[in-house]
């Protein structure tokens, strides 16, 4: 079971984008999976931005202080392993020391990279879980939030809200493949939530209206939102660009 995740949010200069993506998709990630059997899957996503409706939600979110952490977020690279400790043996620094000069030059093209290792607390399967094989790369379209909580009491309230409101909703939302609640083993921010959808349309029609419940000041969602401090690019929303997404037979 893939309970450990490595996440890297980053930007790329326009003039270096094509070369970096070709190296990453055609060489680096396939070689990594071949050489590291403890890494079960790799997935690369591109930020698609947000609809007007969801931007109203974003405008109400509290953010980390400027300079508190890197603010890259054009791309998100995810790796999955049985436990987070796959990403501590070797560590990020040890991997950097062992890279070839060519690989190091490619990695250096990334800007404002924010790196976290997460442990999965729990997950729920959605109605469309059949769209993804077990222990494989997340689905065609994701949303990944990354944040911390401002008080200890609010941590308990957040856990209750996930257990009683958000995760039960995700389990029955059409178009949802699975949802994982994550805790940081290393990196900024204690909490993360990873939603997998079959498509951008499924997220927009099913998830976004539910998130807008936070506009109701009497709702539990609104109360929880007041205590969350999000990373600069949170939630990240976008399609998987590697491995290529196969068309569903009934699409």
The pLDDT, as a whole number, for residue 247 is 59
Residue recorded with tokens 């037979």: 249
Domain-by-domain residue ranges, the chain?
4-242
Mean pLDDT for the stretch of residues 92-103: 95
Mean pLDDT for the stretch of residues 90-95: 96
The pLDDT, as a whole number, for residue 31 is 97
The pLDDT, as a whole number, for residue 249 is 42
DSSP 169-205: HHHH-TTEEEEEEEEEEESS-SEEEEEEES-HHHIII
Mean pLDDT, the chain, rounded, equals 94
127-174 tens-digit pLDDT: 999 998 777 999 999 999 999 999 999 999 999 999 999 999 999 999
Measured on CA atoms in the order 208, 214, 218, 221, is the torsion positive or negative?
positive
- Is the pTM higher than 0.85? The answer reads yes
Nearest Cα neighbor of 198 from 145, 143, 250, 128 is 128
Tell me which of 1.10.150.110, 3.20.20.150, 2.130.10.10, 3.30.70.100 is the CATH number of domain 4-242: 3.30.70.100
104-122 tens-digit pLDDT: 999 999 999 999 999 999 9
The pLDDT, as a whole number, for residue 68 is 95
pLDDT above 60 for 251: no
pLDDT above 90 for 55: no
């Amino acid at each position: 079971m893939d309970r450990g995740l490595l996440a890297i949010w980053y930007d790329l200069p326009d003039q270096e984008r094509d070369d970096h993506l070709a190296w990453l998709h055609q060489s680096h990630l396939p070689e990594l999976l071949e050489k590291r059997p403890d890494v079960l899957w790799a997935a690369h996503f591109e930020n698609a931005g947000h609809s007007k409706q969801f931007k109203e939600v974003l405008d109400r979110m509290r953010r980390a202080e400027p300079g508190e952490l890197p603010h890259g977020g054009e791309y998100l690279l995810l790796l999955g392993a049985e436990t987070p400790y796959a990403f501590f043996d070797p560590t990020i620094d040890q991997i950097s020391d062992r890279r070839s000069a060519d690989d190091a030059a490619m990695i250096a093209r990334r800007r404002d990279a924010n790196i976290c290792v997460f442990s999965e607390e729990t997950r729920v399967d959605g109605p469309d879980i059949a769209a993804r094989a077990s222990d494989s790369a997340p689905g065609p379209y994701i949303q990944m939030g990354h944040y911390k909580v401002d008080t200890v009491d609010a941590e308990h309230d957040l856990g209750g809200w996930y257990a009683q409101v958000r995760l039960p909703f995700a389990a029955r939302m059409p178009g949802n493949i699975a949802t994982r609640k994550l805790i940081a083993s290393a990196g900024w921010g204690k909490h993360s939530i990873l939603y997998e959808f079959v498509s951008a349309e499924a997220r927009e029609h099913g998830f976004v209206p539910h998130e807008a419940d936070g506009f109701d000041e009497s709702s539990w969602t609104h109360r929880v939102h007041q205590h969350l401090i999000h990373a600069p690019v949170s939630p990240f929303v976008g399609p998987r660009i590697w491995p290529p997404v196969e068309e569903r037979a009934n699409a």
